[in-house]
């Protein structure tokens, strides 16, 4: 019987993966979610890539979700007259609102974020280019920030600015994001990722804009500001407001420091799962594969550890968008995920043993997974669902039992491609006589070679279809 990979793979599309042939190859290699990065490319670029993903998924009988990733606020320096300078440790360097934006030099550069002068205080550390250059703030004027270089090196045009410990006040959603949300709706994307949210209210605002645009896309909160992980209350407010979160380790690592990042990553994953939300681990997971056909051992360990922590998905960025080996990167990630999933810890659950439940469908979902994990003859769980909420809750439980999402709705069929251990089976319960429904559902798995006579399956469903959250029944059934 085929071994199904439970951890899902998000691959970013870009110049290296825009052709129909490359996108087909990504689908065959195991891409579960295609990420469209709105920081790069035009609306037509994204439209073309989305269409090619849908065509390739249909061709190979797979379900691939589409995610639009909003750019968020651009907190960046402007440009240098010679495109690049080298800053030396101990040198004075000024960030200025009034300096011409294309005339920077080794002493001063313009900034594209005017509020920086209000957000900084003497003694603050500013990190440029993902922390490769570090500046200590000495004083703040009416239109400029005077600093001393504490970690020097090359600095080129339009590099990002972070403040150690967070605190930059840029709003999460920009005018560009608002325009891109309309593209999300037009392309009927399954997910939209919100960059740099600080509070649950940022996600609420994004959701309102997405719904007003006519989209039912689920909202992913990218955790990349220090404020978002300052304490459990801040983190949980973002998780609760969203449908899922992304551990965006680039900016987050810069703001909190590398030494704290691994512990924070584990905390985000654990909190997301406890609150019944999905979680993606992202950034530099196989960075060396931008120019190498094989990952490093450290990268293998990084991906495997995220799998062992029970992340729903691991993500490729430049590796698949602009690297030399995008297909090999997806294949390598798939191998590592499958290898890590052999560890017994990935199937032993202690999830919410001391907690009560608040919803009927949640109770059925968790009871089903408890039964599946303890009745060894069970080989599959079938969740008949409208929105995908029941299999989402099921997939919070560590288990080696595959969960099959039976739904008639294309949006749900694609959406669950991001859920760990969940696989789509197109199925309309309303098309069957109630007395024949269970047999028909099991027959779908038999025809696909996923169960055989002598196995048992667990089936959950609601008494009434067309109502989200209506799951209220569970059966344990033998395969004849």
35 as an active site residue: the answer is yes
Nearest to 224 by CA among 377, 424, 71, 31: 71
Looking at the DSSP bridge assignments, the partners of residue 405 are 383, 424
Catalytically annotated residue among 147, 283, 346, 424: 283
Catalytically annotated residue among 5, 6, 22, 35: 35
Which residues have a Cβ under 8 Å from the Cβ of 48 and sit 6 or more positions away? Answer: 18
Alpha helices in 317-416 (DSSP H): 318-321, 326-340, 360-374, 389-394, 410-415
Catalytically annotated residue among 47, 62, 74, 76: 76
337, 443 in Cβ contact below 8 A?
Answer: no
Nearest to 316 by CA among 124, 67, 20, 111: 67
420 as an active site residue: the answer is no
281 as an active site residue: the answer is no
174, 73 in Cβ contact below 8 A?
Answer: yes
Catalytically annotated residue among 22, 49, 222, 396: 222
Two structure tokens written together for 452: 């055989």
266 as an active site residue: the answer is no
Nearest to 222 by CA among 285, 284, 279, 164: 279
Ramachandran area for residue 61 (φ above 0: left; ψ -120 to 50: alpha; else beta): left
Backbone angles phi and psi of 220, in degrees to 5: -105, 125
363, 473 in Cβ contact below 8 A?
Answer: no
Two structure tokens written together for 306: 């995220």
Evaluate the CA torsion angle 298, 299, 302, 305 in order and state its sign: negative
Residues belonging to the active site:
35, 76, 222, 283
């Amino acid at each position: 019987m085929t071994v199904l990979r439970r951890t899902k793979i998000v691959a970013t599309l870009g110049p290296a993966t825009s052709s129909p042939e490359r996108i087909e190859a990504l689908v065959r290699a195991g891409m579960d979610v295609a990420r469209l990065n709105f920081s790069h490319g035009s609306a037509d670029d994204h439209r073309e890539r989305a269409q090619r993903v849908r065509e390739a998924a249909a061709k190979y009988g797979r379900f691939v979700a589409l995610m639009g990733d909003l750019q968020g606020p651009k907190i960046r320096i402007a440009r240098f007259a010679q495109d690049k300078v080298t800053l030396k440790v101990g040198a004075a360097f000024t960030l200025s609102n009034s300096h011409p934006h294309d005339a920077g030099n080794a002493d001063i550069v313009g900034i594209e974020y005017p509020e920086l002068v209000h957000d900084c205080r003497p003694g603050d550390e500013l990190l440029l280019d993902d922390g490769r250059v570090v500046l200590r703030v000495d004083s703040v004027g009416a239109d400029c920030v005077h600093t001393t270089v504490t970690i020097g090196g090359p600095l080129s045009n339009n590099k990002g600015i972070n403040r150690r410990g967070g605190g930059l006040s840029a709003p999460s959603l920009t005018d560009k994001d608002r325009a891109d949300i309309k593209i999300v709706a037009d392309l009927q994307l399954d997910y939209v990722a919100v960059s740099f949210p600080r509070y649950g209210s940022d996600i609420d605002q994004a959701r309102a804009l997405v719904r007003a645009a006519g989209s039912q896309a689920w909202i992913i909160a990218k955790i990349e500001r220090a404020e978002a992980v300052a304490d459990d209350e801040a983190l949980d407010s973002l998780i609760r407001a969203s449908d899922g979160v992304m551990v965006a380790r680039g900016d987050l690592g810069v703001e909190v420091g590398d030494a704290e990042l691994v512990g924070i990553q584990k905390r985000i994953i654990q909190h997301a799962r406890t609150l019944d939300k999905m979680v993606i681990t992202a950034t530099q997971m196989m960075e060396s594969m931008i120019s190498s056909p094989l990952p490093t051992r450290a990268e293998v360990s990084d991906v495997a550890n995220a799998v062992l922590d029970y992340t729903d998905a691991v993500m490729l960025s430049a590796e698949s968008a602009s690297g030399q080996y995008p297909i090999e990167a997806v294949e390598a990630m798939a191998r590592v995920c499958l290898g890590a999933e052999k560890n017994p810890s990935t199937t032993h659950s202690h999830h919410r043993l001391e907690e009560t439940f608040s919803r009927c469908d949640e109770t059925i979902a968790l009871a089903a997974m408890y039964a599946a994990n303890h009745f060894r003859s069970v080989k599959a769980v079938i969740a008949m669902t409208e929105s995908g909420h029941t299999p989402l809750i099921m997939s919070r439980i560590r288990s080696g039992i595959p969960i099959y999402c039976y739904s008639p709705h294309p949006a749900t069929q694609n959406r669950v491609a991001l859920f760990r251990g969940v696989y789509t089976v197109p199925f309309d319960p309303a098309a069957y006589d109630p007395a024949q429904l269970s047999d028909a559902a099991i027959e779908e798995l038999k025809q696909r070679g996923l169960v055989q006579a002598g196995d048992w399956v667990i089936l959950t469903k609601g008494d009434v279809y067309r109502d989200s959250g209506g799951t209220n029944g569970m059966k344990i059934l033998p395969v004849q």
